[in-house]
Structure 1
Amino acid sequence: MTTTPHVLYLFASAAPPVFDIAKVIENAQSRGFDVCLGLTPTAARWLKPRLGDLEHLTGHPVRSEYKMPGEPDVWPKADVIVVAPATFNTVNSWALGLTHDFVIGVVAEGIGKGIPIVAMPCVNSAYVQHRQFERSVAELRAMGVQLLYGEGGFVPNQPGQGKPKEFPWGQVLDAAASAMRT
C-alpha cells in the first residue's frame, strides 16, 4: 500500500535561521512531508539567488505573493503549517489580522480552516520588551496556534547575539508531526 505524504506548508520570515531552510526542507522530507515553501517578501529577497534550487528541492513553486483571483492553486492543500522563523513583524501582523502579505494571509485563514499550525518566533530580547509582542503571543495561542516560545521553545537572545545555527528546527518539525496526530 502506498501512502501519500502529508503536506507541510513551511512559512519563513526574514531572520537569520532562514538561511538554513534547505536543510530544514530536507529534514521535513525525511520525516515524510511534502513541503511547500512560502516566504515573506523580505525573506524571498534574502533567498533570491537560491529560489530555483529551493523550488527544485520541494517540487513546488516558492511563493511570497498572493495569486491573482481566478488562478488555480499551485500547491496541494496543507495538512499542517509551520511558521518559523517568525519575526516580530510576522507575529504581530498575524495576531492583529493584518494580511498584507501572502504568508500572513494564509496562516490567518488557516486558523479559521482548522489547519494545525505550529509557530516559533525568532526575536531578540529588545523586541519582546514591546508590550504588543506578548499580547500577540497570547492572542495566537488563544486562537489555537501552537506557539513554541519561552520555556520549552525559542528563548530570545540579546540584540546582536543571536545563534541562528542553534535555532531549534527539529523541535518545530516534531511539533508539526504531533499536531497532525491530535
Structure 2
Amino acid sequence: MSGGPGKPFLYVVVCAAGVAKDVGVLVSAAQGRGWGVGVVATPLALGFIDQAAVEAQTGYPVRSAWRKPGDVRPLPPADAIAVAPATFNTVNKWAAGIADTLALGILCEAHGLGIPTAVLPYVNSAMAAHPAYEASLARLRDMGVLISGLEPHPPKSGGGADTFRWEEALELLAPEVNPRG
C-alpha cells in the first residue's frame, strides 16, 4: 500500500462539472475510511474547485499538469482511482485512449497497471443520448472500470447535484481495495 504504513492511496480525478466544487465530500469520506487521498484535476476543473482548500484537506498539491523530468513525484502511487464527477468529454476520450491531459494519461495508464478504477459520470441526458457515450461506457466496463448507476440529468436542469452520491465511488471500489483490511 502506498498511502503510508498500511494505508492505501486514492487518486480522485475531478472533471469540470458544477458538482466538482463539492469534491471535498469524497475526500472526507475516503479519509474517514482509511485512505490517503490526492486530487488530480482536468485543466478546466481547476476553475470549479477550491484548490487551496483541497490541498489543505489532502496535504498534497492538486495535480493538473505533467511534472518535468527530474521533478519529485508529488503524490504516492495510486492503489485505486475514483473519477468524480466524470464529464461526457472525459468518458469518451478515456475510452478512446486519448491522453491529452494528465488526468486522462493517468486513467489510460491505470488499465495497464491494473489499478482498480471507479467512475461517477455526470452528464445530461441530451449528451448521454449521443451514440459515442454508451459505446464509451461499454468499453470502460470491458476494461474493468466500475461505473456508477447515476442516471443522466435533464439538460438545463441545474444538474441534479442533490442526487450525486460521492460515496458511491468508495462503495464501488470496496470489493477491490479495502483500506482497513
Deviations 1:19-75 (A, max 9, x none): 11112211111111100001111111222xx21221111011100111112322111
Secondary structure of 1:11's counterpart equals strand
- 1:92-112 per-residue CA deviation (whole Å, 9 max, x = no partner) reads 010011111011000100110
Q: Which position in structure 2 is the counterpart of 1:124?
A: 124
**Distance in 2 separating the partners of 1:72 and 1:157:** 41
Note the residue ranges of structure 2 that are not aligned, 5 or more in a row. none
Matched letter for residue 28 of structure 1: A
Counterpart of 1:155?
151
Does the alignment pair 1:58 with 2:55?
no
Partner residue in 2 for 1:112: 112
Q: Does 1:42 align with 2:44?
A: yes
- Aligned-residue offset at 1:167: 0.2
Code of the residue aligned with 1:68 in structure 2: it is K
Which of 156, 165, 168 matches 2:165?
168
Partner of 2:140: 140
Whole-angstrom distance in 2 between the partners of 1:105 and 1:3: 27
More off after superposition, 127-136 vs 157-166: 157-166
Q: Which residue identity does 2:29 align to in structure 1?
A: N
Other-structure match for 1:177: 174
Structure 1: runs of 5 or more not aligned: none
Aligned AA (1:53): A
Say how many residue pairs are matched.
174
Higher helix share: 1
- The list of structure 1 runs, each at least 4 consecutive aligned residues, that deviate by more than 4 angstroms after superposition, is none
TM normalised by structure 2 equals 0.91
- Structure 2 CA distance, aligned partners of 1:157 and 1:55? 30
In 2, Cα distance between the equivalents of 1:64 and 1:100? Answer: 11
Q: Provide the C-alpha distance between the structure 1 equivalents of 2:137 and 2:12, rounded to a whole number of angstroms.
A: 19
Q: Let me know the Cα RMSD of the aligned residues.
A: 1.4
In the alignment, structure 1 residue 12 sits paired with structure 2 residue 8: no
Structure 1 Cα separation of the partners of residues 94 and 8 of structure 2: 24
